[in-house]
Structure 1
Amino acid sequence: MSWSKLKKNLESYLCPALYGRVEYSASSYRYLSDKSGTCYITVDRKNVMNMSDKTNIIKWYMTEQEIKNDSIIQIPVSVEEIETVKKESNGKVPDDRLQVIARSRKLSEYAKELMSAQSSLSKSNFVVVANHFLSTSIEESLESKDILLNVLALVDRRLGKKRILNMSEKMKLKHPIVQYFYELRLSTL
């Protein structure tokens, strides 16, 4: 599918409040056969999602430790996770440390998932992911670990107000760019 047709299809799925604010753009290199060009998403004429752009307004993590040390990330820890740590330690760990250990484990897991999602996004082909989005359900795109699929689903007109409001806890565990588009979509309600 040509870029112009793909762009038109993606824009037809945009929620009405975001039409004209969110735009899909591409640049290509006409005379360089080994350069495929880059695709990016702009919001209010600002480049928001482009992995190779250093002026991005969204933080792209370079290491797992950056994620673990980021004070903005709030990871909720359930009672079951604390109980699991307690069982594994045979009750030898003080209760106040159990939550710290459970949060640290969950944060490590989250950091690995986030780094994996970022690296797959930087290697992914926007056109391939966009075509996949157009051929799958909105639920599958929202549940995917692919950042770009999440973003495309969040700006989709098929995503209802009630579902958006019920997603707030899930969004806390997503990449900052997904959280950005979630907040953008919340602002349109």
Structure 2
Amino acid sequence: MSWSKLKKELESFLCPALIGRVEYRATSYRYLLDKSGICYIAVDKKNVLNMSDINNSIRWYQTEQEIKNDPNIQIPISNEEIEAVRKDTKGTVPEDRLIVIARSRKISVLAKELLTAQASLSKSNFVVVATKFLSTSIEESLESNDILLNILALVDRRVGKKRILNMAEKMKLKHPIVQYFYELRLSTL
């Protein structure tokens, strides 16, 4: 599919409040056959997501420790996770320490997922992921670990107000760029 056709199709799925604010842009290299060009997403004429550039205004993590030490990441801990820690430690750990251990375990898993998703995004081809988005269900795109699929689904008009509001807890565990687009969509409700 040509870039102009793909762009037109993606923009036809934009939420009405974001039409004109969110743009899909691409640059190409005319004389370099092996270079497919760079695709990026702009919000209010500002380049927000460029897959090959880690110097965006959105926070890109370099290590697992950066994620663990980020005060903006809030990790909700369930009673089942606390019980699992209690079972693993055979009840010898004080109650307040169980929460700390459960949070630490959960954030380690989250950190690995975030770094994996971020690494795959920097290597991904926007056109391939966008074509996949157009052929998969909106639910599958929202539940995916692929950052770009999440973003395309969040700005989609098929995702209603109720679903957006019910995603608040899930969004806390997503990459900052996904959270940015979630907040953008929330601002249009």
Matched, 1:170 2:170: yes
Match of 1:73?
73
Secondary structure at the residue paired with 1:74?
coil
Looking at structure 2, the residues matched to 51 and 5 of structure 1 have their Cα atoms a distance apart, in angstroms, of: 21
Looking at structure 2, the residues matched to 15 and 88 of structure 1 have their Cα atoms a distance apart, in angstroms, of: 47
Matched, 1:121 2:121: yes
Looking at structure 2, the residues matched to 3 and 34 of structure 1 have their Cα atoms a distance apart, in angstroms, of: 16
Quick one: which amino acid aligns to residue 119 of structure 2?
A: S
Match of 1:132?
132
Secondary structure at the residue paired with 1:183?
helix
Overall identity of the aligned pairs, in %: 79
- Cα contact 2:52–2:123 (8 A) shared by 1: no
Point out 4+ residue stretches in structure 1 off by more than 2 angstroms.
51-55
Match of 1:149?
149
Quick one: which amino acid aligns to residue 187 of structure 2?
A: S
Superposition CA RMSD, Å: 0.9
Task: Compute the TM-score of the two structures, normalised by the length of structure 1.
Answer: 0.98
Match of 2:43?
43
Match of 2:61?
61
Quick one: which amino acid aligns to residue 32 of structure 2?
A: L
Deviation at 1:49, TM superposition (A): 0.5
Match of 2:106?
106
Deviation at 1:33, TM superposition (A): 2.1
Looking at structure 2, the residues matched to 60 and 35 of structure 1 have their Cα atoms a distance apart, in angstroms, of: 24
- Identify unmatched segments of 5+ residues in structure 1: none
